Structure 1
Amino acid sequence: MSSVPPPGDRTDAPAAPLSTSAAPVGARPPLRLAVALVIGGILWIGPYIASITVLLPARLEIVAPDSKVQVIATLAIVGSIVALLANIVFGAFSDLTRSRLGKRTPWMLLGSAITGLSLFALTRAESVTAIVVVWCVFQFFLNAIVAPLVAVIPDRVPERMRGTYSAVYGVGFMVGAAAANIVASRFVANPTDGFMIMAIAILFSGPVLALLAPDKSNAGEPRPAFSRDMLLTNFSFPRRGARDFYLAMFGKLLFVLAMFAITGYQLYIFTDHLGMDAVGAGAMIATMATVQLVLSLIFGAVAGPVSDRVGRRKIFVIGSMLLMAVSLLVPFVWPQPVAMVVFAALGLGVASGVFNSVDQALNYDVLPNAEAAAKDLGILNMANTGGQILGPVVMGVVISVTGGYGAGFPIAAGIAVVGAVLISRIRSAR
């Protein structure tokens, strides 16, 4: 990356972000690190997805059958707010940590222990209040695993290989998310046993990295002195040299929003918009999920290494966003059930696979401060959470205004295109 020009020099391009890699330029990370990223990703995303989609609803069917729908909505909203705050908090604490285990591992170990205990506690929660409180504890400490884990890549992987390692992490993420529902579905009638299994799984998420690919001690590194500037740097949104950082963040937000505007209502799109019965809709959703998993794994695994080889990120991210827009228009111009499978293949499979692989590497390229990498990556992750929340809201507004789902497709496509435009404006990454 180019260096910051000295005062007085004129340039049309902004200063490039600070490098976030502690690894020598020519260093090759050990294969153990790739294995640890895959397994660690599976072991945190799997229990989370299994809990929120299957086990929690099943538990509420027992504890509060008359208010289960409202409670699920409450858990989603409150949990998202807690997660947004925790991303910043644990990212900042991780950046400031000095220990013999490094700065990431201690927090991942803490997060694994408390999230495991939280899932175990859900098996004993007998009231709605207890479930909400325990779930918030789980969501908060889940980010003690996630925020430091994603920062391991810029810490230990040279820039020329970050696309590959982002793809490796993305494969673990996608496998864990898909496997979660398969495993959890076996415990619908007995969620207690399901929670116990997931508690054990997440308990090993942090230790995997410590055992397979331990970090070096950073106990001797200087810690920034406590001051107003230290607090602003480590516990606030970036303020200097962050233009491209925010373009990347809002581009990601719009991509996720466009996708979840449709996927959040896919059951009702099949039944209310395309006229299918519930059984047929369920079969189509299963088909979509299978197509999505296969294609996202293939294209996600390929896109990262190719991005490294050609030395470019933006073209892959922009291309995936434009492909998502095209896929969203297919059910609009061809309102048939099979069109949703085409959307799943092109948008949720190919486009999302490429995006999830290369966009993470692009995020590393636009980090404005090497000393606050985990905190800033946590802020970027807020775009994922925000898009998942706002997507269904946007579609809900469309339905209330137009009286149907049809207009939601071109609106979502337009949102994805705007996201692509934002990414195209990034100057400090190719």
Structure 2
Amino acid sequence: MVNNLQSNQNDSQISWKADISDSEQPKAPIMIGLATGIGALLWLGPFNGMNNLLNPAKLANIMGGAGGQVNNFLALLGTLGAVTSTITTIIIGALSDLTRSRWGRRTPWLIVGSILTAIVMVGLGLINSKSGLPFFIVLWCLLQTFINMIVAPLLAVIADRVAPMHRGLISSIYATGFVIGQYGGPVVGGTFLKTNNPGLVNVGYFVFAFLMLLSGPIAALMLKEKSSLKMPRMKMNWKRFMQYFIFPVHNTRNFYLALFGKMLINITTTTFATYQLFILTTDMGLRSSSAGKYISLMGTITMIAAILFSTISGPISDKMKTRKWPVAFAAFLIATGTLLPYLLHHPVVMLVYGVFAGIGSGIFFSVDQALNLEVLPNPANSAKDLGILNLANTGGQILGPVIGAILYGIVGHNYLPILPILTVIALVGAALVLSIKEAK
């Protein structure tokens, strides 16, 4: 459905469209896919490398070694970061939707967001003492805000400029960059941890800041977004505030089924990732060194499978003319992989989990983004509503460890008995996704 926003000014009958139809775009806009994929790679890779490796290493250097103090500080960063990101992605998305400029709605945010995020990353790299830890917290929350100036507009570009029949393909290109960034960022980050030199860790922050600085400008140059000055000027009143800054309330059945379905799937994968080390050591009897080797190999298997299937799943969903069935199938694969270690109790089965989770994640990342675009209640609010749908990710990251801790106490302080419950959670998520009504 194409929504037109009509200017209410008496002297103007100019119409402005917030999206594009199949008939207006017979050929797939590959350049838009490459722009979003490269943009995603250049923001997610540095973020994950810093978050997963550089932050723990820096904090251990500052606090005198790994331990409970570092873990507690990382948990605080994770909680504050998730809350900040959840709030700011909705606000920034809404402001992006309302932006009128000669460079379009999204480009100014991509450029400014990249610059500000890179500056904050440099600031984080310069903190090297306990007295700087309060500033570390403030900068981390600012980073979560500024990075959403890249994330929210970049996702909305697909809704703005890709016709529905091409969204599977373009989402696959985006997902490929996303997956490479997700798994490749920590690989690059690991190169700055090969010595005991704290200064090398700081260099990692500066290198990642430079890559982050490139994300928005490169995407913007490739997108060549047109002016949004023809978009009607809008006086903010309560009705428009509700439209642009509040959770949608009209035509939202599919929207909320997608949100909560995907959140349940993410809770399963996040909780499994949180406890994979303890499953291998406490429940399967491995030493930490051996468990680390299994986790590293499992991560490699997952990455390869995810990259492969993220590249092909979107176009297949275009041919199938459905998004919900591939996403539900991905959830089924993740659920199956989650159950296997409980049934077989052998470390090798964790590698089999990596295969199932990798294939499922590859399908999920690519087709899920296309599904997000097709459940939006109003294309004019795409960035804001995509920010709300991102709660499926942030909510899963917050709730996963909490639910895991509760289940751990309920099942008798063991980790393997949690897995059948996580399997059911993923299957319920798949059922919610399958309840979405797709247009024929």
Name the TM-score, length of structure 1 as normaliser: 0.93
Report what 1:73 is aligned to.
Answer: 75
Over 3 Å counting, the alpha-carbon distance change for 1:146 and 1:47 in structure 2 is same
Root mean square deviation of aligned Cα: 1.6
> Does structure 1 conserve the Cα–Cα contact (< 8 Å) formed by 2:53 and 2:189?
yes
The correspondence for 2:390, drawn from 378, 381, 387, is: 381
Question: Which residue number in structure 1 is paired with residue 58 of structure 2?
Answer: 59
Distance 1:385-1:341 versus aligned 2 partners, 3 A rule: same
Give the counterpart letter for 2:386 in structure 1: L
1:110 and 2:112 aligned: yes
Answering whether residue 331 of structure 2 is matched by residue 329 of structure 1, we say no
Q: Does 1:224 align with 2:224?
A: no
- Are residues 199 and 416 of structure 1, via their aligned partners in 2, closer, same or farther at CA, if it must alter by over 3 Å? same
Give the CA deviation at 1:111: 0.8
Please, which runs of 5 or more residues in structure 2 have no aligned partner? 4-16
Q: Does residue 377 of structure 2 align to residue 368 of structure 1?
A: yes
| In 2, Cα distance between equivalents of 1:24 and 1:261 | 40
Deviation of residue 223 (structure 1)?
Answer: 2.6
Is 1:239 paired with 2:274? no
Cα distance in 2 for residues equivalent to 1:357 and 1:40 = 15
Taking the aligned partners of 2:255 and 2:53, their CA distance within structure 1 comes to: 35
2:219 matched residue in structure 1: 209
Offset from partner CA, 1:236-279 (integer Å, 9 cap, x none): 10011111100000001000001111111111111111110111
Q: CA deviation at 1:390?
A: 1.1
Structure 1 vs Structure 2: percent identity of aligned residues? 38
Deviation at 1:369, TM superposition (A): 1.0
Per-residue deviation, 1:64: 2.5
Equivalent residue for 1:8?
none
Q: How far is 1:26 from its partner?
A: 4.1
> How many pairs align?
414
Given that residues 122 and 134 in structure 1 are in contact (C-alpha distance below 8 angstroms), is that contact kept between their aligned partners in structure 2? yes
Distance in 2 separating the partners of 1:332 and 1:2: 48
CA contact 1:23–1:156 (8 Å) conserved in 2: no
**Structure 2 partner of 1:404:** 414
The residue type equivalent to 2:55 in the other structure is: L
Question: C-alpha separation between the residues in 1 aligned to 2:192 and 2:228?
Answer: 43
The Cα shift of 1:34 comes to 2.2
C-alpha contact (below 8 Å) 1:292/1:344 kept by paired residues: yes
CA distance in 2, matches of 1:371, 1:324: 34
Distance in 2 between residues matched to 1:71 and 1:58, nearest whole Å: 12
1:164 to 159, 165, 169: 169
Runs of 4+ in 1 over 6 A off after TM superposition: none
Post-superposition CA distance 1:219-243 (Å, at most 9, x none): 1220322100111111110011111
Q: Which residue of structure 2 lines up, in the alignment, with residue 48 of structure 1?
A: 47
Q: Provide the C-alpha distance between the structure 2 equivalents of 1:151 and 1:238, rounded to a whole number of angstroms.
A: 16
Residue number in structure 1 paired with 2:266 = 256
Give the one of 301, 312, 317 matched to 2:322: 312
Residue 88 of structure 1 aligns with which residue? 90
| Contact 1:82–1:140, Cα closer than 8 Å, also in 2 | yes
What is the match of residue 185 of structure 2?
Answer: 180
State whether residues 187 and 194 of structure 1, in contact with CA within 8 Å, keep that contact through their aligned partners in structure 2. yes
Residues 117 and 149 of structure 1: is their aligned pair in 2 closer, same or farther, counting only changes over 3 Å? same
Distance (whole Å) between structure 1 residues aligned to residue 306 and residue 189 of structure 2: 22
**Counterparts of 2:372 and 2:230 in 1: how far apart (Å)?**
29
In structure 1, the gaps of 5 or more residues are 4-18
Cα distance, 1:411 vs structure 2: 0.3
Residues 131-189 of structure 1, C-alpha deviations (whole Å, 9 max, x = no match): 11111111111111001100111111110010111111110011112221111111124
